[in-house]
Structure 1
Amino acid sequence: MPYVSREGDVFVLNLGAEGEQAGENRFHPDWMDAIHASLDEIEGSEGPAALVVTSTGKFFSNGLDVEWIFGHLDQLPEYLDRTHSIFSRLLTFPMPTISAISGHAFGAGAMLAISTDLQLMREDQGFFCLPEVDLNMPFTVGMSALLNSRLPKQTAIEAMTTGRRFGGPDALAAGIVQATSDATALLSSAVSRAEQLTSKRGANLGGIKRSIHGDLIGALETKTRDTDFAFGQQ
């Protein structure tokens, strides 16, 4: 499960389990509950602060938990709404947020990465990819709005319609991330950047973010219907 550590005034939310073999960090319902609980813990702190979201191992996050979905198709709309809530929470989080993309960010994992304020990515390994077009999986209203809002238009078109895998340098050139780093310096670079922003933390920052992302938050809060999302169907 995800866990929280702290480096000075910077909280680090690791998407994977502490002290265990790194996994894929898929959006299992229990995992999403743990993410929200971690964000509750961080938000409940006092004083200057910023947040870095990262992971260890091969994956930043491999997206939706497909195995769970096929076992609970009757719960799919609620599951997707819960997924959207992670994005909304990060988009409006009342402190500066940075994704340190240390491995593959696929599908919903890629969407999580761009839900923070800034993005740094490992330059030598890992891909940012939206494979939905190859999985016959439509984007929800909220997912489409997120991608079209947070990515440059042509990048969104290419990523969403071709499933292209963007390595670190390509992601930087395409405007997906703002900087790249080698693996050994990625987290420290993100923490260093976050340290410069800790004084911004507070309700005012959260309000500014909500004003920036107002339409996007509205789309993410749109309830998913059974007819909106036919997983894996032609």
Structure 2
Amino acid sequence: MCTLEKRGNIFILTLTGEADHRLNPTLIDSITAAVRRARSEATAPSALITTAQGKFFSNGYDLKWAKQDMERRGKIMSSKLRLLVAELINLPMPTIAAVTGHASAAGFVLALCHDYILMRRDRGFLYMSELDIGLRLPAWFIALMKCKIGSPVALREVALASAKLTGDIALQKGIVDSVHNNADETLKAAEKLGEELVRRNWDGNTYSGIRTTLFAQVLDSLESDETVGDFGKKEAKKAVSRL
């Protein structure tokens, strides 16, 4: 489901397996375990890069898995993703998302949890799809989006227009830090940025302490058990049919 490779002081977490990397409990648990392993194996200032194989970074929650019991399974996915988000926010090292394919809905959220986002230019977009498929966004998604998307106009386009943002558009709106010609160049740029950050020789606990203060409202919002939609069976069936 994912691999973790250490190159010097850089950890590279790569989503593997399913083509669109849907965030079901198995994949979320695998990512969380990799993040915890990076924490435990870091012996000096380090950085974490998260990336993915194929045309998708992540296509969001696995709603097809959840559809048999949307209320229960939806809350399981929400609980596990909120735990992963908290792990990333508390991780004592800089984090970089190398978005080498589409990042939709909860997959977009996963990218936003990182300190830096790098994106490829030739393929993929950032897309908060909930409005298009008839689901409400949970408050903690909104809290994270407000924290990471500074422009009210850009935030409106993401949340209230379900805009599909290419790398260049996302860069113009200040949502990503840089764009690169293809997947290989995106990952190489992420490694270069990671090396630059490691050379700053920051104390990891100090770094994560500042980050948790910056993300205080997000961390507070993670206490809610609200999940995407919090809808009944009828809405669930409609949403899954639109996938």
For Structure 1 versus Structure 2, the TM-score category normalised by the shorter chain is over 0.9
1:91 to 89, 92, 108: 89
User: Identity across aligned pairs (percent)?
Assistant: 28
1:200 match: 202
- What is the correspondence of 1:1-234 to structure 2 with a 5 Å cutoff? 1-17=1-17, 23-45=19-41, 46-75=43-72, 76-152=74-150, 153-183=152-182, 184-198=184-198, 199-224=201-226, 229-230=230-231, 233=235
Alpha-carbon contact 1:132-1:138 (below 8 Å) kept: yes
Give SS of 1:100's match: strand
Q: Deviations over 1:85-120 (max 9, x none)?
A: 222222232101011100000000011101100111
Distance 2:22 2:71 in 1: 19
Alpha-carbon contact 1:94-1:203 (below 8 Å) kept: yes
Q: Which moved more, 1:203-212 or 1:74-83?
A: 74-83
Distance 1:44 1:110 in 2: 26
Distance 2:186 2:122 in 1: 11
Uncovered stretches (5+) of structure 2, i.e. residues with no partner: 239-243
1:50–1:201: structure 2 CA closer, same or farther, 3 Å change rule? farther
Give SS of 1:72's match: helix
Distance 1:170 1:40 in 2: 33
Q: TM-score, normalised to structure 1's length? A: 0.92
Displacement of 1:144: 1.3
Give SS of 1:112's match: helix
Moved over 4 A (4+): none
Give SS of 1:54's match: strand
Aligned length: 229
Q: Deviations over 1:7-30 (max 9, x none)?
A: 22100000224xxxx611111101
Q: Which moved more, 1:112-121 or 1:213-222?
A: 213-222
Give SS of 2:154's match: helix
Give SS of 2:92's match: coil
Uncovered stretches (5+) of structure 1, i.e. residues with no partner: none
Q: Which moved more, 1:162-171 or 1:86-95?
A: 86-95
Alpha-carbon contact 1:84-1:143 (below 8 Å) kept: no
Give SS of 2:224's match: coil
Displacement of 1:163: 1.1
Q: Deviations over 1:126-148 (max 9, x none)?
A: 01001100111111111111112
Distance 1:79 1:116 in 2: 19
1:72–1:200: structure 2 CA closer, same or farther, 3 Å change rule? farther
Q: Deviations over 1:25-74 (max 9, x none)?
A: 11110111111110111000122210011112100000000111102324
Distance 2:61 2:178 in 1: 26
